[in-house]
Chains A and B, each alone.
Chain A
Amino acid sequence: MRARVKHATSALLTLMLVLIGAVVPAAAQGKPPIRIGEINSYSGLATVYTFPYKEGLLMAAKEINDAGGVLGRPIEFIFRDDKLKPDEAVKAARELVGQEKVDFLAGCISSGVGLAISAYAKEAKTLYFATHCQTSRLTWDDGHKYVAHTTNNVNQYIRALAKKAATLPYKKWAHISPDYEYGHNVWEEFISYLKQLKPDVQVMQENWPKLGETDHSSYVTALLQSNAEAFISAVWGAQEIAFVKQARPFGLFEKVKYVSASVGNPDELDPLGKEAPVGALTPGFAWYDEGMQKRHPKLAEWVKKYETRAKKEPTLGASWGYASAYIIAEAIKRAKSAETDKVIAALGEGYEMEFPWGKVIMRGCDMQAIPPQWTGVVKMNAQGKPVLADIEESHGKDVIRSCDEVAKLRALAAEKKK
Chain B
Amino acid sequence: MRPAAGLGLLALALAVAPLALPPFFLQLLTEIAIVGLFATAFNLLMGFGGMVSFGHAAYFALGAYTAALLVKRAGVPLLLALPAAPVVAAAGALLFGVFIVRLSHTYFAMLSLAFAQIVFTVIFKWKALTGGDDGLLDVWPPGLLKSPAAYYYFTLAIVGLCIVALHAIVDSPFGYALKAVRENPRRARYIGIDVRRHQLAAFVISGAFSGVAGGLFAFYNGSVFPDFAYFTKSFEPLVVALLGGVQSFFGPLAGALGFKILEWMISRQWPVYWPLFLGSIVIVVIVLLPAGFVGLVRGLPWRTRPPAKA
Contact = CB atoms under 8 A, between A and B. Distances in A.
Interface of A: 2, 4-13, 15-16, 18-20, 22-23, 27, 42-44, 47, 79-81, 83, 85-87, 90-91, 94-95, 98-99, 111-112, 115-116, 118-120, 122-123, 137, 142, 179-181, 417
Given A20-B20, A119-B223, 13 more contacts: A4-B247, A4-B251, A5-B250, A8-B248, A9-B3, A10-B1, A13-B10, A23-B25, A91-B31, A112-B135, A116-B223, A119-B137, A122-B138
B65 interface: no
Interface stretch (B152-160, B200-208, B252-260): B252-260
B254 A8 contact: yes
B244 to A, nearest CB: 8
B22 A9 contact: no
Interface string B243-286: 01101111101100110010011011001111100000000000
Contacts of A2: 3
B33 to A, nearest CB: 11
B229 to A, nearest CB: 12
A98 B31 CA distance: 15
A417 B72 contact: yes
A13 B253 CA distance: 12
Given A6-B3, A116-B225, A23 B137 contact: no
Contacts, number: 155
Interface string B215-259: 001000111010110000000000000001101111101100110
Interface of B: 1-3, 6-7, 9-10, 13-14, 17, 20-25, 27, 31, 72, 124-125, 132-135, 137-138, 140, 148, 217, 221-223, 225, 227-228, 244-245, 247-251, 253-254, 257-258, 261, 264-265, 267-268, 271-275
The 9 closest A-B pairs by CB, nearest first: A81-B271, A9-B6, A8-B250, A98-B24, A99-B24, A42-B271, A119-B137, A4-B248, A5-B3
Given A4-B248, A9-B10, A90-B222, A44 B275 contact: yes
Contacts of B221: 86-87, 90-91, 116
B139 to A, nearest CB: 8
B223 A47 contact: no
A19 B20 CA distance: 11
A79 B270 CA distance: 10
B21 A23 contact: yes
Contacts of B250: 4-5, 8-9, 12
B133 A181 contact: yes
Nearest to B271: A81
Contact of A99 (B3, B22, B223, B273): B22
Contacts of B225: 85-87, 112, 116
Contacts of A98: 22-24, 27, 148
Given A2-B3, A8-B254, A119-B222, A94 B133 contact: no
A115 B17 CA distance: 31
B39 to A, nearest CB: 13
Contacts of B245: 8
Interface of B is mostly: helix
Contacts of A22: 265
Contacts of B3: 2, 5-6, 9
A85 B222 contact: no
Nearest to B221: A87
Contact of A94 (B27, B251, B253, B271): B27
A137 to B, nearest CB: 7
A112 B227 CA distance: 10
A122 B171 CA distance: 46
A115 B221 CA distance: 13
Given A42-B272, A43-B274, A115 B223 contact: yes
A43 B222 contact: no
A179 B254 CA distance: 40
Contacts of B253: 8, 12
